[in-house]
Structure 1
Amino acid sequence: MPTAEFLSRLQFAWVMSFHILFPAFTIGTAAWLAFIEGVWLVKRTDLWRDLYFFWLKIFAVAFGMGVVSGIVMSFQFGTNWAGFSIVAGNVVGPLLNYEVLTAFFLEATFLGVMLFGWKKVSDGMHFLATCMVSLGTLLSSFWIMSANSWMQTPAGYTIRDGVFYPADWWQVIFNPSFLVRLPHMVLAAFISTAMVVGGVSAVYLLERRFVDRAGTMLKLALAFLAIVIPVQIVIGDMAGLKVREYQPAKLAAIEARWTTESSVPLALFAWPDEEAEANRYAVEVPHLGSLILTHSWNGQVRGLKDFPRDERPPVKIPFFSFRVMVGLGLLMLALALVGLWRWKRGTLFSGRWYLKAWVALIPSGFIALLTGWWVAEVGRQPWVVQGLMRTTQAATKLPVGSVLASLITFVVVYIGIFGAGIWYLLKLFRDGPVPAPQRGQPATPVHGSHHRTPARPLSAPDDPMGD
């Protein structure tokens, strides 16, 4: 029979796994919209205006689903994790409130102008609104990642009567892992969005629809990935060094290292056996583990046997999740490099196999983001605040039946609500970048398109029109 704590963890994981996808996508699409509108202000062509309004509709739906899932998630701190709220609320609570006071208020102020102000404010003001919404999404990630990073590498606190109190807010906010985890998360959001942009463009090119718009989007997504993925690899390496310094048990679980040793091989594949404290069917590359993890050919890595069993994280989830994340990252990099080569040869749009590869990898950024998050959170166990507060202490003492009932409710409701939301997003993607409204005159129809132009940002092109 599962415990209430386990079910609470499962419920939080379910809600969080849904929630993280939508804010990550809105972070990327908000920046993408700011870029598109900035180019439109310079070029003033139909192509860029149509792209802006197409992605504006996508952003609006994703933003709404992100807000809904975030509100639900925050309530769980009081219902399922009251122990954490009582003990760590003096530190984490203000960080989450700062997100509301800065990011949420900024987004709420300018979102209406961005969505509905195209014909009501000047071009410059509308562009400012788009930039402010994009800045708001980045500020939101700043505070959320600060709070989560503090739980991973706590600093700037004092403990009195078993309760955390802030001693130095600068150290709390800019804790040891924050400055590498924040850009790692933001770039993951950008990469996930770029994969969607490029993949959707590939669909249109395969179908011979919106060819000029799709070609422009694919080139931009390709160039962005070719630049950013190598940067993400470097930042990921820096994050790994922080994990080795502050969370050695997590690193040992990620690599399934059981004994402390030098000249550590890199396990490409293995089946970790936690009972036997050994790996089955291991495929390893000598020395490569030490080189990657310590930047030394013979560097030492601590093993899980150095830690008591009750202070070790589960091994299989971090081990396999990390390899999925890295493997997908390398696939995305290969896709970008092959694309650059084909672009140079003038065959970027002619190879159907290459366009199909883009389509197949549309979800890869989101899967990599999710698996990376699982590595971070499961790898921190059994601690909710690293080395200071166990997850068992954070959980509310609730009847198992109550938690099970709420978990089932969340699963059913989320599948229904977010299934409908994702269906609507797919509908918008199928309709594509149809002509967008212009100031004072109707838009020029796209060749071969019989769609009407919606005046409301959340309307699909075949929905009723407004003024």
Structure 2
Amino acid sequence: MSPETTLLLARSQFAFTIGFHIVLAAFTLGLAQWLLFLEAMWLWRKQPVWLALWRYWSKIFALNVAMGVVTGVVMEFAFGTNWSGLASRAGAVLGPMMYMEVLVAFFLEAGFMGVLLFGMEKVRPWVHFMATIVVALGSLFSAFWILAANSWMQTPDGVVQSADGRFIPVDWLAAIINPSFPWRMAHMVVAAMLGTACLVAACGAWHLLRDERHPAARHMFSLSLWLLLVMTPVQIVLGDLHGENTRDHQPIKLAAMEGAWDPPPPGAGEPMRLFAAPDMAQRRNHWEVAIPDIGSLYLRHNLTGRIHSLNHYPPEDLPWVPGVFWSFRIMVALGLLMLVAGIAGLVIRLRGRLWRTRWFQWSMVLMAPAGFTAMLAGWGVTETGRQPWVVYGLLRTADSVSPVSPALVLGSLVVIVVVYLTLFALGLWFLLRLMSQPPHPDEEGVMPDVALRSGTGRT
């Protein structure tokens, strides 16, 4: 088998592992902030329902963290086994960022995880709340360093290349806060919250369908719908700003997102392509359905602005356009669906029928995976769109793969697929089992009203 086969297998293995891990990592990030909110409400309002919700989601949080750690470790080893070219040439930049993620974020988060999960009846309420704050901050710090490393690979800055092609940091602030990092960080954090909100809304809707008077189910459903209503427009604005950044720094990716092979006629703006079948061989679209000039509104904020077209670039510099094109549309479609759900929830709420509108509750149950599916589609755009570069414009993916036998990569890929699918199936089964049971205010542990007054059992 050829080196091209090794490259394809190595890319497939990394895509498979990161696809699983990113969902778990994003859910951990979103749940950490959700638990922080629930505990703050419990300490403030002193109502048993908030503690019941906190206990309920803390179990799911523990399960998700356990699965996420396992899937994340494999990716770390992949840099040395399958991507030694990247590790040797960009290790001086990526290594310290990954080290900071482990030292500052993961150790900080893991160190206080035990207090969060097992210390509710063993420490004072304010001590436990501080532990929850640290875990929530740790998840944000983890996202900070991982996204800083990824953003540097997308828009490299703050480095020079040595004679042997290695990247040497000369300005760490520029390397970390690189041109695409602020927008990618904000976009990802909001995406994690929206994905968590969709899942919490689905859980609340499921229990409302069984008992519309259940207080914890009402709280879950109501709060998650408020989050969808508020955060989805924020995400749309962030997506627009992120798109402008992509237009300025990765024009080929933007052209692939739009399926723009050729510039529009003189005097016309960019069309908004609703449907197309991009053809890499013929370098054009088949069965294109587009609205003239409308694309320029969100690309240039006018009706005549243009972007760079794909046919301006040589074939070897193009990503896989069909994947980028359709991943972008899946992400946008699901984002609009979440916006519609938030607005529909507001209308139904104002009519006083939020707990009794069963068709809407069933719709939210079906939307459980919408947020994380949109996030995966967005990462498909991000990672597929930068190809054939692993460090954009400076280091090609083909020059980053390890010189190993394709059979070894294939063997490890098969093992990872089997293990991950088994792990994910078991984890999903446990997750659905936990979520199928409604929260109860009288779950095991000290009742919150007594605990807050007396501090019984706490040191």
Among 231, 236, 243, the residue aligned to 1:233: 236
**Could you tell me how far 1:432 is from its partner in structure 2?**
2.5
Cα separation, 1, equivalents of 2:18 and 2:65: 15
1:122 has 2:116 as partner: no
Cα separation, 2, equivalents of 1:391 and 1:39: 48
Q: Are the counterparts in 1 of residues 47 and 449 from structure 2 also a CA contact under 8 Å?
A: no
Give the secondary structure class of the aligned counterpart of 1:270. strand
> TM-score normalised to the size of structure 1?
0.93
Among 206, 213, 216, the residue aligned to 1:213: 216
**Could you tell me how far 1:260 is from its partner in structure 2?**
3.0
1:257 has 2:264 as partner: no
Among 246, 249, 253, the residue aligned to 1:246: 249
Name the aligned partner's letter for residue 238 of structure 1. L
Q: What CA deviation, in whole Å up to 9, does each residue of 1:319-355 have, x standing for no partner?
A: 0000000000001110110110010010112111111
Q: Are the counterparts in 2 of residues 149 and 175 from structure 1 also a CA contact under 8 Å?
A: yes
1:42 has 2:76 as partner: no
Cα separation, 1, equivalents of 2:212 and 2:155: 49
Residue 419 to residue 210, structure 1, CA distance change in 2 (3 Å): farther
Cα separation, 2, equivalents of 1:125 and 1:170: 34
Cα separation, 2, equivalents of 1:141 and 1:333: 25
Cα separation, 1, equivalents of 2:41 and 2:409: 50
Aligned to 1:437: 444
Name the aligned partner's letter for residue 446 of structure 2. R
**Could you tell me how far 1:43 is from its partner in structure 2?**
1.5
**Could you tell me how far 1:438 is from its partner in structure 2?**
3.7
Cα separation, 2, equivalents of 1:432 and 1:218: 13
Q: Are the counterparts in 1 of residues 18 and 75 from structure 2 also a CA contact under 8 Å?
A: yes
Q: Are the counterparts in 2 of residues 260 and 306 from structure 1 also a CA contact under 8 Å?
A: no
Q: Report 1:182-201 matches (<5 A).
A: 182-201=185-204
**Could you tell me how far 1:121 is from its partner in structure 2?**
0.4
Give the secondary structure class of the aligned counterpart of 1:158. strand
Q: What CA deviation, in whole Å up to 9, does each residue of 1:87-146 have, x standing for no partner?
A: 000001101111111111211221110011111100000011111100000000000000
> TM-score normalised to the size of structure 2?
0.95
Among 10, 13, 17, the residue aligned to 1:11: 13
Among 375, 378, 381, the residue aligned to 2:381: 375
Name the aligned partner's letter for residue 34 of structure 1. L
Cα separation, 2, equivalents of 1:439 and 1:122: 12
Q: CA RMSD in A?
A: 1.4
Cα separation, 2, equivalents of 1:226 and 1:442: 32
Name the aligned partner's letter for residue 146 of structure 2. I
| Number of equivalenced pairs | 443
**Could you tell me how far 1:281 is from its partner in structure 2?**
1.0
Q: What CA deviation, in whole Å up to 9, does each residue of 1:228-269 have, x standing for no partner?
A: 100000000000001110100001111110113450101011
Residue 120 to residue 273, structure 1, CA distance change in 2 (3 Å): same
Aligned to 1:409: 415
Give the secondary structure class of the aligned counterpart of 1:257. coil
**Could you tell me how far 1:436 is from its partner in structure 2?**
2.6
Give the secondary structure class of the aligned counterpart of 1:120. coil
Cα separation, 2, equivalents of 1:359 and 1:425: 15
Q: Are the counterparts in 2 of residues 152 and 385 from structure 1 also a CA contact under 8 Å?
A: yes
Structure 2 segments unaligned to the other structure (5+ residues): 451-459
**Could you tell me how far 1:212 is from its partner in structure 2?**
1.1
Q: Are the counterparts in 1 of residues 201 and 220 from structure 2 also a CA contact under 8 Å?
A: yes
Aligned to 2:310: 304
Name the aligned partner's letter for residue 94 of structure 2. V
Cα separation, 2, equivalents of 1:231 and 1:224: 11
Q: Are the counterparts in 2 of residues 8 and 80 from structure 1 also a CA contact under 8 Å?
A: yes
Give the secondary structure class of the aligned counterpart of 1:295. coil
Name the aligned partner's letter for residue 207 of structure 1. R
Aligned to 2:352: 346
**Could you tell me how far 1:439 is from its partner in structure 2?**
2.8
Residue 66 to residue 209, structure 1, CA distance change in 2 (3 Å): farther
**Could you tell me how far 1:210 is from its partner in structure 2?**
6.8
1:152 has 2:158 as partner: no
Structure possessing the higher relative contact order (Cα contacts under 8 Å, 6 or more residues apart): 2
**Could you tell me how far 1:297 is from its partner in structure 2?**
1.0
Q: Report 1:29-428 matches (<5 A).
A: 29-161=31-163, 162-208=165-211, 211-261=214-264, 263-428=269-434
% same residue: 46
Which range moved further: 47-56 or 283-292? 283-292
- Runs of 4 or more off by more than 2 Å in structure 1? 434-443
Q: What CA deviation, in whole Å up to 9, does each residue of 1:142-170 have, x standing for no partner?
A: 00000000000000001102100100000
Cα separation, 1, equivalents of 2:449 and 2:255: 61
Q: Are the counterparts in 1 of residues 253 and 319 from structure 2 also a CA contact under 8 Å?
A: yes
Cα separation, 2, equivalents of 1:57 and 1:69: 19
Cα separation, 2, equivalents of 1:441 and 1:187: 31
Q: Are the counterparts in 1 of residues 256 and 324 from structure 2 also a CA contact under 8 Å?
A: yes
Cα separation, 2, equivalents of 1:433 and 1:351: 21
Name the aligned partner's letter for residue 295 of structure 1. H
Cα separation, 2, equivalents of 1:345 and 1:291: 35
Cα separation, 2, equivalents of 1:256 and 1:381: 15
Residue 77 to residue 210, structure 1, CA distance change in 2 (3 Å): farther
Name the aligned partner's letter for residue 242 of structure 1. N
Give the secondary structure class of the aligned counterpart of 1:301. coil
**Could you tell me how far 1:430 is from its partner in structure 2?**
1.1
Q: What CA deviation, in whole Å up to 9, does each residue of 1:49-84 have, x standing for no partner?
A: 100000000000001111111111110000000000
Q: What CA deviation, in whole Å up to 9, does each residue of 1:340-395 have, x standing for no partner?
A: 00100101121111111101110000100001001000000000000000000110
